[in-house]
Chains A and B, each alone.
Chain A
């Protein structure tokens, strides 16, 4: 077996540069003659700009230029997904200019762009800008926002409504619920989160007057998409004159998918000042300018028959859009959320209504999992509530309602067709690893120590590998979602792969190299993976939604197929054999049944030095594939959290956390485990620690790492990761995707464990994040004796 074969835990090639300080992140890049941008941001959540006086600032030392909304002469930042309301009307889509023209709509909105010789000079000058604001009424709370016509974020959006969308037949489902034996109900808030990649966003805009070429270096998960959106829609630059480079990127988790105002600003201003312009966010700036995630208020019902079978589900959600529509914001609570509400279950009828609202807050968009964590949370809280009211064990009620292995492909009532799955063995692995059967004894032992111990189960499914262009197009996407790969075999047989995927921590250079080395039978070291530069790679769609391997890896796989096909023709010619008789095995082209062989290097050399070459064949050995999958992929699994609560303080300690997942075929198990760990940390973070808090004036109270609780090493346990494999049926690698699973399963598993621990006190509901304070309050309210102490 090849030492870097598919399936082996190969250590990562990218690590040497990261470990030695030789990574190149955007802020590490400095361009000759560069100047610095600082963005003056709104301190108000909602205000009219009466006037801006930049005269003193313009005269400050080092200042080169100051731009305000009056100077902005280009387009608005677009939203990439059209959602229609249930009455057929298009969504309300207000303009989003990179510099505010007359009104600011959230704390952090861009008011002025200051460019100076140094960053401290730019910041000093910004303090001299005088903006005359007239404060306007603020709306933060979603339910208040949608309740009436007062406090409008946009005058043209009555009731602050962006859209009112539904899937399923409401009347039918109401009837099913009315006739059901029992109905579980929940009211939940999916707390607003911030992705908080440790690398802040940054952008460097450049313009070469000699060639008319623009270059943008930016912290992006998808440079081609940024080029398309910014070039075509905002600045209207010809694409061939715009290069977007996303070098090493220090984490994304969704927040670096979107096209941001700052990218457009530095590119737009570069020719105006005639020098490269660099902007790097400070962390507190990230908190008020990176898109936030989640933020739903939801009411859910799950109806059951007398045997505990699910018969219908009804969900009503209000989803916060913030003040503007970020790039993919509109599809998250609809096509990435409502379509996942079947979960792992055979619920025959589902209705979901989603109302998207504008508020005076930072725009909300996809964050790790994007819609699937929100769907899983409501489904799995409902399933546990169903378990509670029926008295059926949480594991048993899930098993009873699972889609069975022989029911695939399975058409859900909410649009998706799951290609394959086998949920029971994965849950069994989780149960065994967590010693579920032994829990009651551990609970009793903990009780003797005065501790409340709980166990929580959550199953999940996600739709990864986003996905078939035709399908997403029919759902309102304004882009295709395929992936590209170009495989270049060099004359000496080493290989460079150009991929449209983008890596920001996922280890693509290693995983993709494994695929190439394995299939071409060449040393792993002889493969380079190039990504993140629109001048180098074919048009690709980038990395999000766990699509890199399933879509990007499949494109590489198909391009290698083409390489092997062409190389076989060349080898047959060189070996003087018929093409049909030449087979490619272990990196050698061999005439079947003989010892006549040629290595890939021999063939590629001949391809580039075609002295003896068939007339009808083009020289060179380089192939390209665009891969558009037939369906999403459907990873699924079960997570089990066990924890203890100190009733005196409300503090939670996670005692064990098991994640059992089915990701299809595994290319690199070490990297897969790492992806699961990271997702779990973010999911547990949502359940226990993280959450944005706005006050009623729209000030973000959790506006720095000092206020927003990021999970730290001592908040988290060691994780147990189990894997089972049912291969995806429709991509050539059989892979599904693993990056978001932890963030999807962990919130529900953790909250179910907390509610299980608190169940002896009669507590059946608690909001995320379940902070010690919140838990302590719940305990005090539930136990009059404790409260009276």
Chain B
């Protein structure tokens, strides 16, 4: 069974006819070619697929595209302005908060939701928040530093 879904993705209105079982991440990656959002686990554990839906971070491997009909979706591709990185992206760059880069888009999108609700988080609050994101490369040390640094940059 196919359904028609319409939503705003990165500020652009889109409409697509997809199978009803299509997940949001499949719509983003396969139909819209926004391949910055990644799939790492299929069970909502790793967080590589985190995007924002109506301003909140969600795991796009866990929601159906049809559930996001009419929503406003933001992916990693929308954060930088031309060649200028968003302050959170810049903080990951300067703090070596990434290695292979696969979990990174989800980490950045998740971090932004944390900072939106808690502009000045502590280290332990950052570590707690990252409960839903797995990184196998960095040991989290530099990711935590990046998020603290990015939050500081966003406050100023």
Chain A residues at the B interface, C-beta cutoff of 8 Å: 11-12, 14-25, 27-28, 30, 120, 195-200, 248-251, 253, 282-284, 504-507, 670-671, 673-674, 677-682, 704-706, 710-714, 716, 718-719, 742
Distance A27 CA – B29 CA, assembled complex (angstroms):
10
Q: How far is the CA of A670 from the CA of B99 in the complex (A)?
A: 11
Give chain B's interface residues, CB within 8 Å of chain A: 19, 21, 29-30, 34-43, 45-46, 48, 75-77, 79-80, 83, 85, 89, 92-94, 96, 98-105, 108, 123-124, 126-128, 130-131, 133-144
What's the Cα separation between A719 and B141 when bound, in Å?
7
> Do A673 and B96 touch across chains, with their CB atoms under 8 A apart?
yes
Q: Is the CB of A20 within 8 A of B40?
A: no
Q: Which residue among A24, A120, A677, A706 has the maximum number of chain B CB atoms within 10 Å of its CB?
A: A677
User: In this complex, what residue of A is CB-closest to B105?
Assistant: A21
CA distance A16 to B85 in the complex (A): 8
Which residues of the partner chain A approach B93 to less than 8 Å between Cβ atoms? Answer: 11-12, 15-16, 19
CA of A680 to CA of B142, assembled, Å: 13
Beyond A19-B104, A713-B133, list 14 extra A-B contacts (CB 8 Å).
A17-B101, A23-B101, A198-B136, A199-B100, A249-B100, A251-B137, A283-B41, A505-B99, A674-B99, A678-B138, A679-B139, A706-B43, A719-B139, A742-B139
What is the chain A residue whose CB lies nearest that of B45? A705
A18 touches B134 (CB 8 A): no
Query: How far, in angstroms, from A421 to B146 measured CA to CA in the complex?
Result: 35
Give the complex CA separation of A11 and B89 in angstroms.
13
In the complex the two chains form, is A505's CB within 8 Å of B101's CB? Answer: yes
Query: Looking across the interface, which residue of chain A has its beta carbon closest to that of B100?
Result: A505
Asked whether, in the complex, the Cβ of B136 is within 8 Å of the Cβ of A197, the reply is yes
Write out the residue numbers on chain A whose beta carbons fall within 8 Å of the beta carbon of B36: 20-23
Q: Which residues of B contact A15 (CB under 8 A)?
A: 92-93, 98, 101
Q: Is the CB of A716 within 8 A of B139?
A: yes
Chain A residue contacts of B127, Cβ below 8 A: 713-714
B96 adjacent to A671 (CB under 8 Å):
yes
Q: Tell which of B42, B89, B102, B142 touches A677, judged by Cβ atoms closer than 8 Å.
A: B142
The distance from the CB of B155 to the nearest CB of chain A, in whole angstroms, is 20
Known: A198-B102, A283-B41, A674-B99. A21 touches B135 (CB 8 A): no
Contact of A704 among B41, B92, B131, B134 (CB under 8 A): B41
Closest chain A residue to B83 by CB distance? A16
Question: Quick one: which of A19, A120, A680 contacts B98, CB cutoff 8 A?
Answer: A19
Residue of B nearest to A712 (CB): B131
Candidate in B92, B133, B138 with the most chain A CB atoms within 10 angstroms: B138
User: Are B19's CB and A120's CB within 8 A?
Assistant: yes
> Is the Cβ of A19 less than 8 Å from the Cβ of B75?
no
Interface residues of B: mostly helix, strand, loop or mixed? loop
A199 touches B40 (CB 8 A): yes
27 contacts between A and B (CB under 8 A): A15-B98, A15-B101, A19-B89, A19-B101, A20-B36, A20-B79, A21-B34, A22-B36, A22-B77, A198-B40, A198-B41, A198-B103, A199-B102, A250-B100, A507-B99, A671-B96, A673-B96, A674-B96, A674-B137, A681-B136, A681-B139, A704-B41, A705-B45, A710-B134, A713-B130, A713-B140, A716-B140
Taking CB atoms, residues of chain B closer than 8 Å to A713 are 126-128, 130-131, 133, 140, 143-144
B142–A200 CB distance below 8 A: no
Most-contacted residue by chain B among A25, A120, A198, A674 (CB, 10 A)? A198
| B94, B96, B105 interface centre (most CB from chain A within 10 Å) | B96
Q: Which of A19, A23, A283 contacts B40 (CB 8 A)?
A: A283
- Verify B85–A284 contact, CB threshold 8 A: no
Partner of B100, one of A19, A251, A679, A714: A251
| B96 close to A12 (CB less than 8 A) | yes
| Residues of chain A lying within 8 A (CB to CB) of residue B123 | 718
B139 touches A678 (CB 8 A): yes
Residues of A within 8 A of B139 (CB): 677-681, 711, 716, 719, 742
Instruction: Return chain B residues, CB-CB under 8 Å to A718.
Output: 123, 141, 144
- Do residues A19 and B99 form an inter-chain contact, with CB atoms below 8 A? no
Given contacts A250-B100, A250-B102, A714-B130, contact A505 B140 (CB under 8 A): no
A716 and B101 alpha carbons, distance in the complex (Å): 20
> Whole-angstrom distance between the alpha carbons of A712 and B99 in the complex?
16
- How far, in angstroms, from A253 to B30 measured CA to CA in the complex? 28
Q: Which of B34, B96, B134, B141 is within 8 Å of A198, CB to CB?
A: B134
Q: Chain B's nearest CB lies how many Å from the CB of A641?
A: 14
